[in-house]
Amino acid sequence: MSSVRLLRACVAVAAIGALAIPASAAAKPVITISGSTSVAPLASLLARGYLKESKNAVKFKLAQGGSDVGVADVAAGRVSIGMSSRDPKSSDPRGIFFNKIAKDAICIVTNPSNPVANLSQAQIKAIFGGSVRDWRDVAGSGITGAIDVTVRTAASGTQDAFQKIFLGSTSLTGAVSQKASNGLIQQAVKSNRNAIGYVSLDFVGGVNPASYNGVACNLRNAKSGEYGGVRNFWLVTRGPAKGNISQFIKWAQDSSAAAKITGKHWVPLK
């Protein structure tokens, strides 16, 4: 399923409960979720799967905004669950719990008219760090001209993971265009032959995912562990999850039905 259709599914999940339903059903508990645009497509599918298995025992409302937004929302009690595509930070609010539900590959992407086959970590550091600024200086590039570096905003878990996995101690160049979601980076790279960016594996439609250190960015290599650009997906709770929230998270982590859903586009825990 494409990322666009998945995001539409998120909206559909959020709309559950807005339909005309009996008064008894209207009293169902609501699980509210916000945060990562990378985790959102998976969370939407898992919510739909859980509703099917639990016979609509709960309702879900899902919003996005970035990993830091999800963490802040759940810490403040604004939502039941925060979605995060970055690992815990020492600066995170006290008392929140990160519950791992899957792993995901981050792909370095270029425009289809500039289908760079492979990028080493040294090349990625040079491009995103700003020491290489023209495509003529990138091995494998079929074009020349200024490199338009596109990245996520600071609140993004994907940005945090990209920095740790691909850049390490190399600072991001200041000459970048920042985007608030995977979809916006996908569209920016798709529409600009000089652009380069990075997205969750589920958002590579219409762009060229380059191999990283000689390994293709695809689901098979992410599952095998051969691809080096893999990060964790989390559902974050305020304190240990309880009640309906705990039941949903445990189902997402442990059930064969959830693993089947996750395994279609992401790396399940088992």
Note whether residue 269 is domain-resident.
no
Q: What's the CATH number where 253 sits? A: 3.40.190.10
Note whether residue 270 is domain-resident.
no
Average pLDDT over residues 34-56: 96
Model confidence pLDDT, tens digit, residues 99-137: 999 999 999 999 999 999 999 999 999 999 999 999 999
At 19, the pLDDT band (50, 70, 90 cuts) reads very low
Model confidence pLDDT, tens digit, residues 202-235: 999 999 999 999 999 999 999 999 999 999 999 9
Query: Does residue 179 contact residue 150 with C-beta atoms inside 8 Å?
Result: yes
Note whether residue 267 is domain-resident.
no
Average pLDDT over residues 167-185: 96
Note whether residue 268 is domain-resident.
no
- 150 and 202 belong to one structural domain: yes
Query: What token pair was written down for 101?
Result: 């539900």
- 162 and 97 belong to one structural domain: no
| Segment holding 246, helix H or strand E | helix 243-254
Other Cβ atoms less than 10 A from the Cβ of 85: the count is 30
pLDDT of residue 270: 86
CB environment 1-18: b (16+ within 10 A), e (fewer): eebeebbebbeebbebbe
- 98 and 125 belong to one structural domain: no
- 204 and 113 belong to one structural domain: yes
Note the Cα 103 to chain centre separation in Å. Answer: 10
Across the chain, mean pLDDT equals 92
- 83 and 173 belong to one structural domain: no
- 81 and 16 belong to one structural domain: yes
- 50 and 93 belong to one structural domain: yes
- Domain containing residue 129: 105-224
pLDDT of residue 26: 57
Note whether residue 143 is domain-resident.
yes
pLDDT of residue 27: 79
Note whether residue 255 is domain-resident.
yes
Strand-pairing partners, residue 232, are 103
Q: Report the C-alpha gap between 41 and 67 in whole angstroms.
A: 14
Note whether residue 187 is domain-resident.
yes
- Tracing tokens 């905004």 back to the chain, one arrives at 65
Structural domain count, the chain: 2
Q: Report the C-alpha gap between 206 and 115 in whole angstroms.
A: 11
- 183 and 110 belong to one structural domain: yes
Q: Report the C-alpha gap between 58 and 16 in whole angstroms.
A: 10
- 21 and 63 belong to one structural domain: yes
Model confidence pLDDT, tens digit, residues 194-207: 999 999 999 999 99
The CA radius of gyration of the chain, in Å to the nearest whole number, is 19
Average pLDDT over residues 236-243: 97
Note whether residue 252 is domain-resident.
yes
- 125 and 95 belong to one structural domain: no
- 14 and 116 belong to one structural domain: no
Average pLDDT over residues 48-73: 95
- 139 and 71 belong to one structural domain: no
